[in-house]
Structure 1
Amino acid sequence: MRFGIFLLAARHPGQDDAAALARTAEAAVAAERAGFDDVWLAEHHFMSYGVIPSATLMAGHILGLTSRIHVGTAVSVLSCRHPVALAEEAAMLSLVSGGRFRLGVGRGGPWRDLEVFGTGLRRYEEGFTESLDLLLAWLRSERLGWDGEHFSFREVPVVPRAAEPPPVSVACTSPATEAVAAERGLPMILGMHVGDEEKAAAVARHGDPAAPNISAHLAQVADTRDEAVRTLLAEMPRWLGPGLDGYVPVDDRPRPSRDPVAYTRRLCDLHPVGSPDDCAAALAATAERTGIRHFILLVEAAGSHRATLENIARLGEQVLPRTRTALS
């Protein structure tokens, strides 16, 4: 079993960006102290939903603040990045941290990021597989040239090069991306928007039940389930609603609006929210239904620095041991 925390670095009401980033770093340090195995950082652009524009840069900061815990990106968006530049950063972080860096990558969405960074819709819609293959080839080579549809360059040396490349995972929200990951022997990162049944189906389609797939969850511990749900319904929509408005398509395609209160209720129904026993039982049930043994928990939904630190401490002390016992 592996347990990590998942940090959006959302700007909570009354916070500025500096406070959100400082809170995120302190949460990562608290997770190491609480016994978690890893910290995973989301990457977003031009929105309050998450104020980390470079998950690798924030990972480097947190690796410097910690000594044991692994740090990963969930995810670095390949549609907005040159895969060689991202691979170089991943190799460097792995080297300077003694192998504690993990790279999660994803396709991203059809958002205005593509316009700002100049990569365009075509890279998003058609270029993910080539981007992933180039990134993997760079991490595994001593020298590399490339002649593809989206990238082309003469052979150059790979510097810096990690003799053991950092592990790479792929965020999967469709059977097509699941197949891309499976064909390359890569584990999946499965998000919070789907439940156990959908995750079990994704694992089955992926075809390798032993793959170290990762399951993301909202997690909020309290003395009772009612208390945890009340807290999230009162606090989560306050930062979630304005944040969701940041997802702006780069073209004229419609983007259905999402009710933040209804979405919070759905997340409470899907994920470990409640007493320590409730949370442990929910995680153990997911493990049994899906075969997944690596969980990353969104811990900052209650909307304050104090609440985040308390949630991390209680999860580490009261939920993780119960879950490990239930699955032993």
Structure 2
Amino acid sequence: MVKSWLFDIFNYPYDSRPEGLDPDLVQDEYDWHLETWVQAEDLGYDGVFFSEHHFTAYNMSPSPNLLVASLAQRTSRMHLGVMCNVTAFHNPRRLAEETAMLDYLTHGRLEVGFGRGSDDLEFKKEGFPLEDTRAWFEESLDLMEKAWHQPRFTHHGRFFDYDDASIYPRPKNAPEVWVTALSPSTVSWAAAKGYRIAMSFVPPAGLAGMRKAYEEAAVAAGRTPSADKIAVLRQAFVADTDEQARELAEPALDHVFKLFKRAAVPEDVDNLAKGYEGYSSFFRPFVTGGGVTFDDLVASGAVVVGSPATVRDQLVAQAEEIGCGHLINWFSFGQLTKEQTQRSVELYAKEVAPALRSLTLR
């Protein structure tokens, strides 16, 4: 079975200048997105993941855990989580407490996701050294694991130092962690730790290779890998016809990727900070030649746009090739309206999700 999720990066689709922000339009965005997420439960979605970004119109959920808490009070079945909390923007002891509180507020429906982050410009604005993100990330998770499972814990690391510390409350349900993974080292590290991984943007063949590397590292660590530990994020848009889907999705994607370029793409993609060298090939298309085109994204499989039959066939093929047990769908992006987004979410639920749910993957 392949589970189907919503993902929302929640960008501001109007004037992206700080002085161009309209509070009334922001209010409308929050309101109809929340309405869409609530409707997703009635449509049978397995859950919703939110994202964390800061300081630009690319994203309006700097505190996605607030969205989890809000939606938890309006739903009863769907799982709710963040993909991901960027550890460099958090004190891990404080984040462990907040995660524990959300476990209770969601009545055990919380999905816990963490990542070291990859948006160079966000870190520069915050003054956080990019070369420290991996060490901070790994130490943060080590500390949080202690805080969740031990009434009192001691931690002496490079960034944090605690004696006889505790959090209150500790979670009722032991968190099963998701980790966002774009680099081979993160994939192998997560597998060895027994964490689930969420991958994105890379074509299916590349993700299949990452899945294989995950399996090998898990087995080497004495763990049993499975499709249920693998999630793939895809930008997806469904309309009644292929032509209508492209007509609506192409300008919306153009808008959101312009925001992404301004918010996240480093100025010098060939000389990235230590630990991020492997990201050069990912960022380079955004700064060379004609940039990333709609056709490039569709051909790569990172974007899946079309009629229900087109989207169903492409996502089923990708899930089988990659061996992922979860498809996380980024439905709302750019200037897509409430009506267009909700129609896409409905068509996917009724005509795409059942085919994915019927798959048998190991």
TM-score using structure 2 length: 0.82
Task: Determine which of 249, 262, 268 is the counterpart of 2:298.
Answer: 268
Deviations 1:5-32 (A, max 9, x none): 0101111137733233223212211211
TM-fit CA distance, 1:161: 0.9
Query: Are the structure 2 counterparts of residues 117 and 72 from structure 1 closer, same or farther at C-alpha, using a change threshold of 3 Å?
Result: same
> Matches of residues 162-311 of structure 1 in structure 2 within 5 Å?
162-191=171-200, 193-207=201-215, 208=218, 209-210=225-226, 211-247=228-264, 258=286, 262-269=292-299, 270=301, 271-301=303-333, 303-311=336-344
Work out the CA distance in 1 between the residues paired with 2:182 and 2:53: 17
TM-fit CA distance, 1:71: 0.7
Contact 2:285 2:292 in 1 (8 A): no
TM-fit CA distance, 1:114: 3.3
Q: Secondary structure at the match of 1:3?
A: strand
Work out the CA distance in 2 between the residues paired with 1:245 and 1:116: 13
| Identity among equivalent pairs (%) | 26
> Matches of residues 149-168 of structure 1 in structure 2 within 5 Å?
149-168=158-177
Deviations 1:43-89 (A, max 9, x none): 11011111100111221111122121111101110121111111111
Contact 1:7 1:42 in 2 (8 A): yes
Q: Secondary structure at the match of 1:43?
A: coil
Deviations 1:139-181 (A, max 9, x none): 2222112101111111122311113223210000101111220
Work out the CA distance in 1 between the residues paired with 2:28 and 2:58: 14
Q: Please name the residue that 2:18 is paired with.
A: none
TM-fit CA distance, 1:119: 4.3
Instruction: Tell me if 1:20 matches 2:29.
Output: yes
Q: Secondary structure at the match of 1:17?
A: helix
Matched AA of 2:247? R
Matched AA of 2:329? L
Matched AA of 1:298? W
TM-score using structure 1 length: 0.90
Superposition CA RMSD, Å: 2.5
User: Unpaired segments of 5 or more residues in structure 2?
Assistant: 16-21, 219-224, 273-282
Query: Are the structure 2 counterparts of residues 180 and 31 from structure 1 closer, same or farther at C-alpha, using a change threshold of 3 Å?
Result: same
Matched AA of 2:178? S
Work out the CA distance in 1 between the residues paired with 2:311 and 2:73: 31
Instruction: Tell me if 1:65 matches 2:74.
Output: yes
Q: Please name the residue that 2:279 is paired with.
A: none
User: Unpaired segments of 5 or more residues in structure 1?
Assistant: none
Matched AA of 1:212? K
TM-fit CA distance, 1:320: 1.0
Work out the CA distance in 2 between the residues paired with 1:111 and 1:205: 26
Work out the CA distance in 2 between the residues paired with 1:72 and 1:267: 26
Deviations 1:238-278 (A, max 9, x none): 34313431227599967757279734333333143212121
Work out the CA distance in 2 between the residues paired with 1:248 and 1:225: 31
Deviations 1:196-219 (A, max 9, x none): 111111111112441521111111
Work out the CA distance in 2 between the residues paired with 1:281 and 1:261: 28
Contact 2:3 2:357 in 1 (8 A): no
Query: Are the structure 2 counterparts of residues 256 and 323 from structure 1 closer, same or farther at C-alpha, using a change threshold of 3 Å?
Result: closer
Work out the CA distance in 1 between the residues paired with 2:26 and 2:91: 26
Q: Please name the residue that 2:277 is paired with.
A: none
